[in-house]
Structure 1
Amino acid sequence: MNKFCMTAICALAAAPAFAESHMASDAMAKAGLTYGVRPAYLVSKMEDGPLKDELAACLGNTPERSAFSIGHRGAPLMFPEHTAESNMAAASMGAGILECDVTFTADKELVCRHAQNDLHTTTNIVVTDLAENCTTPFTPASGDTDASAECRTSDLTLAEFRTLEPKMDASDASATTAEEYLGGTADWRTDLYANDATLLTHAESIALFDSLGADFTPELKSPSVEMPFDGFSQEDYAQKMIDEYKDAGIDPSRVWPQSFNLDDVLYWIENEPEFGAQAVYLDDRYEASDEDEGAIDPMDASTFKPTMQELADMGVNYIAPPLWMLITLNDAGEMVPSVYAEQAQEAGLEIITWTLERSGPLASGGGWYFQSVSDAIDTDGDYFEVLDVLAQDVGVAGVFSDWPATTTFYANCKGL
């Protein structure tokens, strides 16, 4: 690539489909922001009370962009995740921050995918000529064995990656053909907007999000390949992600780099302190076994290792656990902050959380994301009850959502 080529222009020239979506983003920006119908629907499902009355009074408000509202992979409740279209939809709902989950291809180019090994569920790769490149090619269901495949971005060059067609993240475990395997979309999502969606490189996401008036929260995804990869170390990977913001001339104050790997966060703090100041530690220690010293019980501060104060002493300013770790039920069955949330507050850590509207309808308790308060959840209107506790009692700085209009509406109504 010409060394004098400006980042955004080079990206446009390299990817005609992205160029078209970039122009579409200009049209969307001019069209203004919209809540759509969902916030009003959710308010109608709330139990009567002061919060419902307050939110109902805001339904006629003019939407405003809010950094409290973070697009989780764009707006994947209805759009294929990490596509230009998904992020344009999130921006149109007022999401002030958009996310590119960052991984790399065989030629070490950065692209937006939730995982390095998710191409078999998020694209059409298993029915293309590139299927033979997959780490584990498609295997049909047989007897008690589910259909399976594993296709990684590192199995492809960037040029090959660009030929894929994105789709809703799903697969059909009962499939006996590769074509059937492309199905499986949950009945509370939709394939209506999956046609002709546009994949993004990380550099293209920067140009697009900037054009949409949004800020950035890239997540450095854990590699599925052994590192170093062809001489590409974890530190090289962490640095390359930051370098693409520097190359694009993005002010560090607009970027919240994320990682589940605490070493990545500490690398940015030490080597890129302007970006490291807003680096977000995605705390997944809840996945550790009970025997593991790192396992966290959100109601037992003795299990926080490192502790919240130790994280703060390391220079970590932002922590981002799943929302169920931040809230619990008191003896009266009311949602209240967990000990984990209280300890983070006491250490002066900013808190971001994930992911609202990821689990579908809440009538059955909300699933994994709401596991600590499932006994208090029985209607979709409870999304706002959860948001209110997170915002007003836990004091979170932002909430990831699969449909950002809900979070934007709440933030606007509350003046966040």
Structure 2
Amino acid sequence: MKDIVLERLGRMEDLEGRRLLKGIMTSVFLNLVEHQEEMTRRLEQRVFDELEDLDDKNDIYVTLCAREDIDPIHEFLYPMLPSDVNPPSYDLTTIVSRLSRNEESTLFTMFMQCDYMSLKKLFESKRTFRGQLVTTGGRCAIEVRLQQNLTYVREIEKLYETFQKNGISWKTVNHPYAYKFVDIILTGCERTPDASEEIMEISVDCEEYERSKRLDVVPLWNIERLSLKNSGFPVPAMDRINYEHVLSLRKTGSQNGYLVDADESDIRYMKRSEDELTIVTPLERSGNWNVLKLTQPVPSRIGKLEYSLVSNRRSSDFIGSYARKQATVVRAKGEIMRIAHSFEAAEALEFVDASIQEKPGSEGQTYGMNPFISDHVRTEHDKRLLRLSFRRKPGKQWDEFIIYDLMSFLVSEVQMYFPEYKCEGVWA
């Protein structure tokens, strides 16, 4: 509007008339235009604020690290299990006891740096491998098998339960590394060691999988376990039955996400403000609360991660934020494309097509990342198969051995929106 006024003033040849009109426009009209522009800007900002995706504070970031390289003062990455900072120990007494009863026993856990299809083939083959057990009493040949370790998957399940208790919507955790840990199960031994002996070394030859074997590797994520005390005394809630416990977040950082890790019976609901976390609970006395701090990532100029840092973070855009506010899901291929491309993990993948199959086939190249979420309304054998095809696209290159897992993450998130189908992903 200002440009139009300037253009019209510039066309006036009468300088005195131009001066008078300019004074009138400046004192009256332009003030009105500026006021309208300011009100329009505020309205636009209000719309965007209402669509702000507050779930960004609850994003989960994960990676891997050698046990000896764990940084106890890292800005935002912590071991998934605090006990992982300690080297594993071997209990020969338990091993000998189980051997005497012809039972299997777990020797140790290791990480397999290979893709999902290779691991799937390994687990389905149920093959055994040879190795050596070195004790203070000598060497002996052993026979072992590899079994998927679900310790870290169960930690994700516990996190899901905590999200549910806090009344926060769940978003699939993109943790490709958690599904690649395997247990070395002892199935036979050349001789039964004496319980008084000490284990010096255990070695296993994984044959063609030997180059993928990684020992003493620990998964990390951006969740820190805290114990926070009430700031002040609990006050009665509005219902005059429960009490409000207020936890200050000023020292721990108000930019981070927080989850209260407590029994379900101790939490009625939780309220979050900029600098405080309010817990409404039937507990009358103040005390310490176990809190999970979802630390926002901080760029670091010192140090470098050996493995890619991946997350379940969504790309920031208006259409995605608006769609997530709606209660209904559009049953269309375009909606599947929007969901799949709304995550940063899709930077290396491109959704191609979706097709519905009457019966499940053997082409699936993905797995579900939410195995702990069950559908109590529909049975699995009644569901039709929704096959999603992807292709790799140029751009950001992820580690090759997790590319199937990134596709599994996108398919698992689509599965949350389309529970009436059984979703699987394939390469186009």
Same fold at TM > 0.5: no
Which has the larger Rg?
2
TM-score bracket for the superposition, by shorter chain length: under 0.3
Q: Which has the larger strand fraction?
A: 2
Q: Which has the larger helix fraction?
A: 1
